């Protein structure tokens, strides 16, 4: 079953779990399963229009899903999905 | 409060001196207990903003993925990030706030003046979402041993 790694700032919305297992064949199914298990995560990951927030990066193992098949990316046994908010700034 | 051992504190300040006049950036690993984040290690990251590296920084998310994974195998977590402000105060900017998304984490800023690390400040990203987030002053306690 694919495992989703939850970054520390979002763990308060995932029952304090650092990783969540979700039965899914694609990244989209995995993310849907995640917010279905933990509804409070939804507004932190998605806009009101239902789009993934621009600063939320989703990786399948070490690959950005945007450069794979996005939500349609197929998952294999043992794949790990990581949710990583962007880290940037400056003055 | 951010607790950090002297060698790690020195290392992140040195990183800013080494990349001067460009911004450095990196991750802070450790544990959180209540309101105290205790740093047990830092990881240097590459500043991907090569177009404007003197006043912008960005960490490649894949680096964060790998750092997060390695940290967890050691029972640690990403508890904050650091970057430098070359010839600019160690104070968060509007850009720093707009681009900060790791709630409950520390954002450490070191001003580097003419190549020499000056003041280092820390700010905790507080709030519950993008609409009410703030970078709040946070005390740094440097532990000598």
Q: What is the DSSP string of A58-77?
A: EEETTEEGGGTTGGG-B--T
pLDDT tens sequence across A17-43: 999 999 999 999 999 999 999 999 999
| Domain-located, residue A70 | yes
Residue of B nearest to A65 (CA): B62
First to last CA, chain B: 18
Tell me whether A40 touches chain B (CB under 8 Å): no
Give A56→chain B minimum CA distance, Å: 9
| Domain-located, residue A90 | no
- Phi-psi region at A38: left, alpha or beta (left = phi > 0; alpha = psi -120 to 50): beta
Tell me whether B61 touches chain A (CB under 8 Å): yes
A79 pLDDT more than 80: yes
Interface contact B68-A87, CB threshold 8 A: no
Ranges of chain B whose pLDDT falls below 70: 145
Q: pLDDT class for A2, splitting at 50, 70, 90?
A: very high
Please give the mean pLDDT across all residues of chain A. Answer: 96
Chain A partners of B83 at a C-beta cutoff of 8 Å? Answer: 89-90
> Distance between CA atoms of B58 and B40, rounded to whole angstroms?
23
| Domain-located, residue A17 | yes
Q: What is the mean pLDDT of residues A45-71?
A: 96
Please report which helix (H) or strand (E) contains residue A31, including its range: helix A27-37
Q: How many domains does chain A have?
A: 1
Interface contact A87-B55, CB threshold 8 A: no
> Distance between CA atoms of A28 and A38, rounded to whole angstroms?
15
Contact B102, B130 (CB under 8 A): no
Range of the domain at B83: 2-143
Range of the domain at A75: 3-85
> Distance between CA atoms of B142 and B32, rounded to whole angstroms?
16
Indicate the SS3 state at residue B47: strand
CATH of the domain at A38: 3.10.20.30
Tell me whether B124 touches chain A (CB under 8 Å): no
Chain B partners of A91 at a C-beta cutoff of 8 Å? Answer: 55, 85, 88, 93, 95-96
Please, what is the Cα angle at B54 between B51 and B60, to 5 degrees?
55
First to last CA, chain A: 43
| Domain-located, residue A91 | no
| Domain-located, residue A71 | yes
User: So what's the ipTM on this one?
Assistant: 0.94
CATH of the domain at B25: 3.40.140.10
Q: What is the mean pLDDT of residues A6-26?
A: 95
Q: How many CA atoms lie within 13 A of B85 on its CB side?
A: 21
pLDDT at A29: 97
Give A91→chain B minimum CA distance, Å: 5
Q: How many domains does chain B have?
A: 1
> Distance between CA atoms of A36 and B8, rounded to whole angstroms?
41
pLDDT at A77: 86
A45 pLDDT more than 90: yes
Q: Which of B129, B102, B132 is nearest to A40 (CA)?
A: B129
């Amino acid at each position: 079953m694919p495992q989703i790694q939850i970054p520390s700032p979002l763990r308060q919305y995932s029952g304090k779990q650092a990783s969540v297992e979700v039965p899914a064949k694609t990244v989209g199914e995995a993310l849907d399963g995640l917010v279905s298990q933990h509804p409070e995560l939804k507004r932190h990951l998605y806009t009101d229009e239902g789009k993934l927030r621009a600063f939320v990066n989703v990786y399948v193992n070490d690959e950005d899903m945007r450069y794979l098949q996005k939500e349609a990316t197929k998952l294999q046994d043992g794949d790990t999905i990581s949710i990583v908010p962007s880290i940037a700034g400056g003055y | 409060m951010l607790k950090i051992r002297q060698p790690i504190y020195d290392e992140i300040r040195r990183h800013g001196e080494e990349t001067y006049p460009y911004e450095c950036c990196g991750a802070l690993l450790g544990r959180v207990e209540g309101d105290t984040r205790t740093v047990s290690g830092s990881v240097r990251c590459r500043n991907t903003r090569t177009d404007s590296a003197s006043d912008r920084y960005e960490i490649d998310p894949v680096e964060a993925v790998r750092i997060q994974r390695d940290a967890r195998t050691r029972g640690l977590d990403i508890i904050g990030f650091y970057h430098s402000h070359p010839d600019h105060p160690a104070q968060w900017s509007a850009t720093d706030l707009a681009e900060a998304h790791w709630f409950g984490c520390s954002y450490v800023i070191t001003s580097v003046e003419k190549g020499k690390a000056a003041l280092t400040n820390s700010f905790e990203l507080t709030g519950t979402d993008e609409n009410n987030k703030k970078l709040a002053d946070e005390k740094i306690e440097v532990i000598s041993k």
